[in-house]
Structures are given as C-alpha cells and as structure tokens.
Amino acid sequence: MDEWIKERFSLAWERVGEIVKETETEQPYLDFFQKTACFLMIALEPLKGQDMELSLEELQQHNDALYEDILPENYQNSYGNPDFAAKMLGEYGQAFSFLYAELRGSIVYAYEKKWWDLTVTLELFLEVYSSFCSEEIPSVKGLKEILRSYVNDYCQDMVEQRIREGIDPACDFARKIIMESNLEDLRYLYSYGDYISENELKSAEFLNSLPQKQIEEMAKTYTEGYRIGFITGRKDISKKKTVNIRYPLGFERMVKAAVQQFETMGLKPVIYRYATHAVNKKNQYRVGFTGTPANPQYEYDHRQDYALFLDGDFVQRKLRAMQNAYEKYKDLAFVHGGPACIETFGEAPFAPESKKAALCLTEGQQSLLVEMDNEAGQIINRYIRGDERSFTIIAYPVPEIGSNYPEIFREIVKINTLDYQLYERIQQTIIETLDTCKWTEVKGRAGNETDLMIRLHTLDDPEKQTNFENCVADVNIPVGEVFTSPVLKGTNGVLHVKKVYLNGLQFKDLKLTFEDGRVVDYSCRNFGKEEENRRYIEDNILFHHAGLPMGEFAIGTNTTAYVAAQKYDIADKLPILIAEKMGPHFAVGDTCYSWAEDTPVFNPDGREIIARDNEISSLRKSDISKAYYGCHTDITIPYEELGSIRAVGEGGKKTSIIEEGRFALPGTEELNKPFRC
C-alpha cells in the first residue's frame, strides 16, 4: 500500500487500541466507545496473517466473536440495534447506530487487505471519539455533521472503487479463494471474513460429496443459460470479455467449474462482495458474493441508513462520481457482459420488526432517491448497454431448508434441467391462444380476491408477431413461463395474495389495486397499524414510486416445481425465480425489456415479440428520465389460490387456459400430470 496510507493506518490502529482502557469520556458514551474499540481490535486480527494455520474450530470461534454482537440472541443489547442505541444514548442513539454499522465493514476490509477503507473508517471512529472527549460534547446535529462530512469527503473514492470492482477482473480476491484453495478443506470458507453459518459449511460439505461430473453439469446448466441468453436475444457475446459471477458462499466447487467454462467462452470472471459502505448500499439487498446474513433484522434496521445524508448535494455528488468512474473505466465497462447469478433459498422465513429509532427516508428524500436511481440507471446504460448485455439466474436450496436437504437439492437439480423442448411446445400452444385475444382475465378462489382484466397489445401481423415470450431455460432458470408487457390503459382490478415472500420479506394478505395498469391503492396485514403496512409496501415493493405500473403479466407452467414445493412443504421458502413459474405472476415496475426495447426479440418459432413496451417505457423517446423506475418485483398467485385464467376475445368470448388451478386448454394436459403423481 502507499506509504502515506500505511502511516495513517498504523497511527489509527494504535490509537484505537488505547481507547479500550481510557475513561476520558463520560457515560453513557464511554460504553459505546470502549465496546466498539474492542470489536475493532478483534476485527483487525486477520491483518496479522496465519489464519489458515488455525484449526476449523479455532476459525469458527474467531468468526463467532466477530459477529456475536448482532446475532439474534444478543441483538437486544447491541448498538447495532437502533432501539437499544436510542435507549442507551438517547437522541444520539440513531447516529451512533449508523456509525456502528459503518464500522462493521472493517471486518471484511481486514480480510481483503483494503487499507484505505480501514484507514478512513478507523479515522471516522477516532474523530467522533475525540469530539466526545472535549469539555463540550457535540450536539446531535454536530455529530451527524461529522458523519455526513465523512460520506461526502469519500463519496468519489467509495463509488469509484465499487464500480471498478464490478467490471475489472483484476479485482480478484474471491477468484483466488475459489481457484487456489483446497475446497475439500472447509477452512477456506473463513478466508472471506463473512459470517459463516451451518448453511455455508454444510452446503460446501454436500457439494464435496457429489461427483465431479455432476458438478460440471450443474455449472454447465448455469453457464450455457448465460450463453444462450445472448443467442436468443440476438446479442453478440464475442464483444464481451467479462462476466459478473454472483454466488453464495459454500458453492465454490460449482463456481470453480463455472469459471473454467466461462473462460473457454472467452469470459473472465468479475466477482465482488456485496456493498459495505453506506454510500453504496441499497436497502437490505446484498448484490455480490455473500454468506447467510448473521441477522436479517440487523440488515433490515439499517436498510435506510442513507437517510442520514441523502440530500440534493449528495445526489449530485454521487452521480458525478459514477459518471467519472465509468468514464475512467469505460474500456472495461464496454466489454462487460452482465451478471450470472446463483441464488439460494430455504432459510427460515423472515418477518421484520419495525424499529422506531431506525433511520427512515422522509418524503422529500424518497423523491430524491427515485431521481438518483433513475439518473444512475441512465449512466450505467451508457457504458454497459442494455441492448448488448445479458444475464442468467439459477437457484439451489441451503441446508437450513430441513433434514431432507439432500433429497430437495436433487429435486431442484431435476427441476433446473427439465426438458425445455417439451415446455416450449406446450407454451407455444398457450401463446397461440392468447394471441387471438385482446384481454386476459385472472380470478382467484379459496379466499383469494384477485380479479384482473389485463389488456394485450394489438398484433398487426399475427403470422410474424406475438405478444408473449416463450421462456425456456436460458437466462431465467428453471423453464416454465410465458410472459408479456401489458398495455396499461384498460388494465384494471385487484391483485391479492394471501402470503408471499418478496426479496426475503414476508407479506400477509397483500393487495394491489390497479387502474389503467398503475397501482392506485395497496394494503397488507403484517403490522397492527395501516400506516406501517403501507410504509412497508412503499419501502419494499413500490420503492417510493407513485403509480408504479404493471410491467409484466406471465403464466407459470412449471407444475413439477409446484408439486415438489407441496411435497416438501417449502412453498414459503422458494425464491421468486422458481415461485414465479408456479402460477400466474405480475411484476410491478419496469418491463422485462427495460433499456432494450428497441432490440428485436424472437420466439423459437421465429415470430417477433412486439410487446416490449408500455406507455411508460415509451416515454424514453421524449424524456428518458420518466421511462424507467429501476425496479421489477414479481408477485405470484399459487395454483391453489387460482380460480381461472381466460383469454377474452371479440364479443367477450372466453377460452379457458386454467380452471380451478388446473390447465384446461387442449394441448396442455401434460402440465397436469405432476398433480397426479
């Protein structure tokens, strides 16, 4: 590292070590500073090296020490808990909890030897500590100004670093672990610095039990899906030199095989960790390689920590930083192909608790965030063009799903490799019927109050055009859906789901009301107060957009996945990637073709999918700032809650696609067979 950073870091590290024994600061602040200083000294231990000389048990003990403070059993008395911080520190609590969360990034900075990140976070801690050692401690406003100055001073560096990590294969911390470690020795998992739970350990152990041929076949399903995505999208993969691999810890054996397969395609892996600085975080979502969160409630409580500093000046500062960084690394950005994601499911369902002291965006900040996300999307698309990139996603269970984990894992492998040609033929039958009508009617049953009329685009030349994409196993694994972008005007009604998990969060009795294709009302029953329920939806589905449109309507056909979910009682644990194939689903937000609407897309039968736009995305031609929302959330009605799906033609004539949760259209009978097994 640079000499000046080395000197600054050494001074800061030494000073933090002294705070553990000092008593200059009065209570209740002294307790925070001493406990946090102790944590930081533990977090920095990996800098001493020799970790892999420790036993597995010793590594587990150190990992537990790093994360024990925020584990569910200890969280009630953690400064990471905003309510506890407020209880102990009064009106200062919110700011101190923010500081604590920012400092926890030092764990992974130590493992990755990110000296600059370590230095600036330690110096922030010392600056706050010093201000509370003065005769007159800072006001709450003064404390928040210190934190805001830190964010503003280092915004450019943090954003640039994050962007480079996303496109530069030379940032190879994770790749070295994957490709150079002995993956049979589970101690390698502790090289990341992430929290390592039984999920990571047992996943790695299970994958080690599989023959190499099966590992390579699993990887091939994933890498071929990525490659075929370019072909079906008529995009030139030969222009691309890198692929972003996102994966859960414990799956390194499969990822190693995938890296080798991608490299034979001429694609180098770009592998980065989820964001750790508040500047780069977005809600509680972890984008990048990750382990199981030590405590989902902690992640949820700090999902809007950027409320502390989000204002107009910051928005402009971050957008400038993004533009400068992409311009600096434009050669890397132009040859980046997009993400290839491995997701997991099976963790215990999480229903968050609302914390009064947690930072929360104001209405004004919500508008600023929407503006920033929109502008950020435009910047990214200028350098990593939507009409030239692709993606793929596949999902597997983790051991937490239950004692029959190996059996479920093998069932998911089967689901991920279903005969796509069979589904292609059946789905084409559904599409041909839907293409004869201008409306689709969807109704619920058994207490599900869904009642929707969805308007479809007009086909000028049915011989060459279609409304629905025949989705087989390429970018979106497993196989099993036909989807379209509805016409918004005339799309009306209520979407209701009794229970659904979206982005890891549970929603009870979720209802969205649409008028002309846009959400005009919404409710759920997670909390006792209607205000909290509406805020929960605004934060996690609508993302503070007024009148979010229906960007997608789809019919899932993967009854094999549905029956497996019922057999193993895992329907509430499945990711949307699989759940969306198990019934009709509706996405609120952008269409599936956002940023690439002008790129022709064709079904296997050669017909062009013309429903790539809606009235919102079409605004890109006059004012691109109004065309995109930067979100797309799928909500699925399970078959058991589905009354009917009917194609509505001229004069109101209806043709049944599904009745009482079973496929009723001639030519789709094969889809009902799994129900009878």
In a domain, 555, yes or no: yes
Residues 375 and 429 in one domain: no
Same domain as 440, residue 291: no
- Is position 35 within any domain? yes
**Region at 130 (left for phi over 0; alpha for psi -120 to 50; beta for the rest):** alpha
User: Which pLDDT value is given to residue 473?
Assistant: 65
Q: Give the domain-ending residue among 330, 358, 383.
A: 383
Residue 202 clears pLDDT 60, i.e. is over it:
yes
| pLDDT above 90: residue 370 | no
State the total domains in the chain.
3
Residue 117 lies in a domain: yes
Last residue of a domain, one of 116, 138, 160: 138
For residue 471, the model assigns a pLDDT of: 86
Torsions phi, psi of 259, nearest 5?
-60, -45
Q: What is the band of 266 on the pLDDT scale with cuts at 50, 70, 90?
A: very high
Indicate the pLDDT class of residue 634, thresholds 50, 70 and 90: very high
Q: Which helix (H) or strand (E) holds 439?
A: strand 439-444
Q: Are residues 201 and 87 in the same domain?
A: no
For residues 135, 139, 142 and 146, what is the CA-based torsion angle, rounded to 10 degrees? 70
Q: Which residues pair with 663 in a beta bridge?
A: 658
Q: Which of 86, 117, 138 is the last residue of a domain?
A: 138
Which residues form the domain of 17? 3-138
Q: Output the six-digit token pair for 252.
A: 């390194």
How far is it, in rounded angstroms, from Cα 195 to Cα 60?
10
Element holding 588 (H helix, E strand)? strand 584-589
Do the beta carbons of residue 467 and residue 482 sit within 8 Å?
Answer: no
Q: Are residues 471 and 609 in the same domain?
A: yes
Residue 343 maps to a domain: yes
Q: What is the pLDDT of residue 51?
A: 67
Tell me which amino acid residue 549 is.
P
**For residue 579, which of 632, 638, 658 has the smallest C-alpha distance?**
638
> How far, in Å, CA of 109 to CA of 398, rounded?
27
Q: Pick the range with the lowest mean pLDDT from 434-448, 513-527, 615-629.
A: 615-629
606 in the same domain as 522? yes
Contact 25, 132 (CB under 8 A): yes
Mean predicted confidence (pLDDT) in 163-191: 97
Distance separating alpha carbons of residues 393 and 245, to the nearest angstrom: 10
User: Residue holding tokens 């190693």?
Assistant: 256
Looking at residue 542, its pLDDT comes to 95
Provide CB contacts within 8 A for 145, sequence distance 6+: none
- Report the C-alpha gap between 125 and 109 in whole angstroms: 15
- Could you tell me if 422 and 356 lie in one domain? no
**Which residue carries 């911080």 as its tokens?**
85
Same domain, 211 and 107: no
Helix (H) or strand (E) holding 481: strand 481-484
Residue 399 lies in a domain: no
Whether 318 and 361 map to the same domain: the answer is yes
Tell me the per-residue pLDDT of 228-255, one tens digit each, with 9 for 90 and over: 889 888 899 999 999 999 999 999 999 9
Q: What is the pLDDT of residues 428-462, one digit of tens each?
A: 999 999 999 999 999 999 999 999 999 999 999 99
**Nearest alpha-carbon partner for 90 in 24, 28, 26:** 28
Euclidean distance between CA atoms 93 and 357, whole angstroms: 8
* Rounded alpha-carbon distances, angstroms, from residue 270 to 242, 248, 350, 503, 582: 6, 15, 30, 24, 32
Q: What is the pLDDT of residue 24?
A: 86
The average pLDDT across 45-51 equals 76
What pLDDT was estimated at residue 1? Answer: 53
Mean pLDDT to the nearest integer, 110-137: 95
Q: In a 3-state reduction of DSSP, which class is residue 305?
A: helix
390 part of a folded domain = no
Q: Do 113 and 218 belong together in one domain? A: no
> Rounded to the nearest 10 degrees, what angle do helices 173-180 and 252-264 cross at?
100
pLDDT digits (tens, 9 = 90+) for 523-568: 999 999 999 999 999 999 999 998 999 999 999 999 999 999 999 9
Q: Contact at 8 Å (CB) between 665 and 429?
A: yes
- The reply to whether 562 falls in a domain is yes
User: Does residue 503 share a domain with residue 362?
Assistant: no
Residues whose CB falls within 8 Å of the CB of residue 529, separated by 6 or more in sequence, listed in order: none
Mean predicted lDDT score pLDDT of the chain: 94
Q: Is the pLDDT of residue 50 over 80?
A: no
Checking if the pLDDT of 49 tops 90, the result is no
pLDDT digits (tens, 9 = 90+) for 177-187: 999 999 999 99
**Residues 69-87: pLDDT tens digits?**
999 999 999 999 999 999 9
Do residues 455 and 557 both lie within one domain?
Answer: yes
Distance, in Å, from the CA atom of 155 to the CA atom of 158, rounded to the nearest integer, reads: 5
Residue 411 lies in a domain: no
- pTM (predicted TM-score): 0.87
Percent of the chain with pLDDT over 90: 82
Task: Classify the C-alpha dihedral 303-308-314-318 as positive or negative.
Answer: negative
Considering the domain architecture, whether residues 124 and 207 belong to the same structural domain is answered as no
